[in-house]
A and B are shown apart, each in its own frame.
Chain A
Amino acid sequence: MTNLEIYNKAFMETFEIEEDKLAGLNYQDIDAWDSVGHMALIAALEDAFDIMMDTDDIIDFSSYEKGKELLAKDDYGVEFQ
């Protein structure tokens, strides 16, 4: 699986939504992405990429797109190409 596929899978499984709903998805846009869902999403991403996210990045993770940007930083080095 590519990193993008892994990333998408974490969203789809955590929030139980289809892939075509991911683009443009923001925190609290759907009921499933509340604080409880957010914690589950972060846990799923940390497991999938074997990383440990910083507090600042966890609370800055406000959308599907923002998350990609954060994970691509040097700290985690997850590339989405």
Chain B
Amino acid sequence: MKLWNLEQFSDKTALIDDAGTSVTYRELAGRGKGLADAVGRRCLVFSLCTNSIGSVLGYTAFLEHGIVPVLLNAHLERELLHDLLEHYQPEYVWLPESMQDEPQGMRRVYSDAGYVLLQNAHAGDTKMHPELGLLLTTSGSTGSPKFVRQSYRNIRANACSIVEYLKLDETERPITTLPMNYTYGLSIINSHLMVGAAVLLTDYGLMQKEFWKFLKEAEATSFGGVPYTYEMLERLRFFRMELPSLRTMTQAGGKLSPELHKKFAEYAKEHGKHFVVMYGQTEATARMAYLPHELSLDKYGSMGIAIPGGRLWLRDVGGKRITEPEVVGELVYEGDNVTLGYAECRDDLAKGDTRHGILETGDMAKCDADGYFYIVGRKKRFLKVFGNRLNLDELDRMVKRKFPDLDCASSGWDDHVEIYVTAEGKDSEIRSFVSEKTGLHMSAFSVYPVEEIPKNDAGKVLYRELEQSGPGSGQRVPSGL
């Protein structure tokens, strides 16, 4: 069974890019078949993504024809890309023509829409599980080869839920504001291709004139954004812009500050638009919850209720289900979009479902008397930085590997990473290194020199003591209690 059944929308426009090139659904299906035929069989393909026709064409072709892509950002740091290629040995790489000379030992076999297909001479040959459809990284990369295994059923279920709660139809024209290898950006493409809408593709960003020109001229009806996107929009005096075609703004990728949630909800209400705050993770394909737009003002600060077809509940430390309102517990999600599990090496691609439809999110939440959920913290040591997940333990390991003479421990809060190191004068060197490796802007990282990293007798870092050497904030991640 095909994921989208693209042919059914025949001559409707599927994709439009900022150069004015467009592709119909019939063309997308036909040209996709050409690419799939060149690949010839079910195998593993690394797809280096941009928000372009070639990139989406590759993605839909692979998914419609049982070829398993790993979606990576085309701007992924080169050493990390090289390591991933070595580690997973994909049979093919689908990448922008301008990058075709970069991977070594590969032969060009096909091209379309500015993208080329390279065949890898050193491919692995592990059998892949029949349900495996797609592999994605868990947002921010710290060089870990860990991918989330998503099944065809996961992708279809989640796209259908999104279509239902956002009431998407063929008149929609979402414009890209997020990379398509990022699960939230991808979910916008997945759900809109399900209903025959036209997706507007651009790699220009909110801070560029070309983006706004395209949005207006192509009459975009919606866009998505992470908390940082909405901070930028506020700075851009978004509330004063005339955007008649815009109907819906969605938000995910971390908790928006309640103040900003309220401001955008008010703006939407006054201007007859919808502002929809949502919640999700790559491990749940994309979406798990949404706050219906009618309630965006009444319930600002809330991440809403489970998406259609899913269930959300809170679990106490003893594993029991919490039924009282306003009691904090770990948020657990159940639904057909809960992914199969992780892969850390090529052999893992043969694995089946290890989660059986249940996901422990690692987020701590409470529920009000009306059944609306509010995120209050995190169980695990990670931060969201500009919408990307950053695992602090992985960050520490990465810094220590690069700078073996120092000890290091990191903390902080969303968009603010504090790195404590037992060395003076290394600030800019460490900040450049972590920024380059993670692809996150340098301004997110602060380095603080300390005499030593406080630890208990078992060698566990005492984060609370450590943080007293920093600037202090009430919003830190929990210290792994």
Binding site for B on A (CB under 8 A): 16, 27, 31-32, 34-40, 42-43, 54-56, 58-60, 62
Which residues from B are CB-within-8-Å of A54?
237
Given A40-B443, A55-B241, A58-B236: A35 touches B205 (CB 8 Å cut-off): yes
Interface-centre pick from A32, A36, A58 (highest chain B CB count, 10 A): A36
Which chain B residues numbered 234 to 288 have a C-beta less than 8 Å away from chain A? Answer: 235-238, 240-241
Interface-centre pick from A27, A31, A42 (highest chain B CB count, 10 A): A31
Q: Tell me, rounded to whole Å, the shortest Cβ–Cβ distance linking B40 to chain A.
A: 38
Q: List 15 A-B contacts (CB under 8 A).
A: A16-B428, A16-B442, A27-B208, A34-B441, A35-B205, A35-B232, A37-B441, A38-B207, A42-B235, A43-B235, A55-B236, A55-B237, A58-B207, A59-B207, A60-B209
Interface-centre pick from A27, A55, A62 (highest chain B CB count, 10 A): A55
Q: Across the interface, name the chain A residue whose C-beta is closest to B232.
A: A39
Q: Across the interface, name the chain A residue whose C-beta is closest to B208.
A: A59
Which residues from B are CB-within-8-Å of A37?
441, 443
Assess the B443–A62 pair: CB atoms within 8 A: no
Given A36-B386, A55-B240: A62 touches B441 (CB 8 Å cut-off): no
Mask, B442-465, CB within 8 Å of A = 1, is 111000000000000000000000
Assess the B236–A59 pair: CB atoms within 8 A: yes
Q: Tell me, rounded to whole Å, the shortest Cβ–Cβ distance linking B348 to chain A.
A: 32
A27 to B232, CA, bound (A): 16
Which residues from A are CB-within-8-Å of B238?
55
Which residues from B are CB-within-8-Å of A59?
206-209, 211-212, 236
Q: Tell me, rounded to whole Å, the shortest Cβ–Cβ distance linking A71 to chain B.
A: 17
Assess the B207–A39 pair: CB atoms within 8 A: yes
Closest 6 CB pairs of A and B: A36-B441, A38-B207, A35-B207, A59-B209, A35-B205, A55-B237
Q: Across the interface, name the chain A residue whose C-beta is closest to B231.
A: A39
Which residues from A are CB-within-8-Å of B206?
35, 59
Cross-interface CB contact of A62 among B208, B235, B237, B241, cutoff 8 Å: B208
A27 to B204, CA, bound (A): 11
Mask, B219-232, CB within 8 Å of A = 1, is 00000000010011
Q: Across the interface, name the chain A residue whose C-beta is closest to B385.
A: A36
Given A16-B442, A58-B236: A27 touches B207 (CB 8 Å cut-off): yes
Q: Tell me, rounded to whole Å, the shortest Cβ–Cβ distance linking A66 to chain B.
A: 10
A31 to B77, CA, bound (A): 11
Which residues from A are CB-within-8-Å of B240?
55
Which residues from B are CB-within-8-Å of A16?
428, 442
Q: Tell me, rounded to whole Å, the shortest Cβ–Cβ distance linking B220 to chain A.
A: 16
B344 contacts the other chain (Cβ, under 8 Å)? no
A62 to B236, CA, bound (A): 15
Cross-interface CB contact of A32 among B208, B209, B441, cutoff 8 Å: B441
A27-B207, A39-B231 given. 16 additional CB < 8 A pairs? Answer: A16-B442, A32-B441, A35-B205, A35-B206, A35-B207, A35-B232, A36-B443, A36-B444, A39-B207, A54-B237, A55-B236, A56-B209, A58-B207, A59-B206, A59-B208, A59-B211
Cross-interface CB contact of B436 among A31, A36, A55, A56, cutoff 8 Å: A31
A16 to B435, CA, bound (A): 13
Which residues from A are CB-within-8-Å of B241?
55
Q: Across the interface, name the chain B residue whose C-beta is closest to A46.
A: B235
Cross-interface CB contact of B235 among A27, A39, A56, A60, cutoff 8 Å: A39
Assess the B232–A31 pair: CB atoms within 8 A: no
Which residues from A are CB-within-8-Å of B436?
31
Which residues from B are CB-within-8-Å of A31?
435-436, 441-442
Which residues from A are CB-within-8-Å of B211?
59
Which residues from A are CB-within-8-Å of B444?
36
Mask, B392-419, CB within 8 Å of A = 1, is 0000000000000000000000000000
A62 to B436, CA, bound (A): 23
A56 to B236, CA, bound (A): 9
A35 to B443, CA, bound (A): 12
Which residues from B are CB-within-8-Å of A34?
205, 441
A67 to B150, CA, bound (A): 45
Q: Tell me, rounded to whole Å, the shortest Cβ–Cβ distance linking A34 to chain B.
A: 6
A34 to B241, CA, bound (A): 22
Q: Tell me, rounded to whole Å, the shortest Cβ–Cβ distance linking A72 to chain B.
A: 18
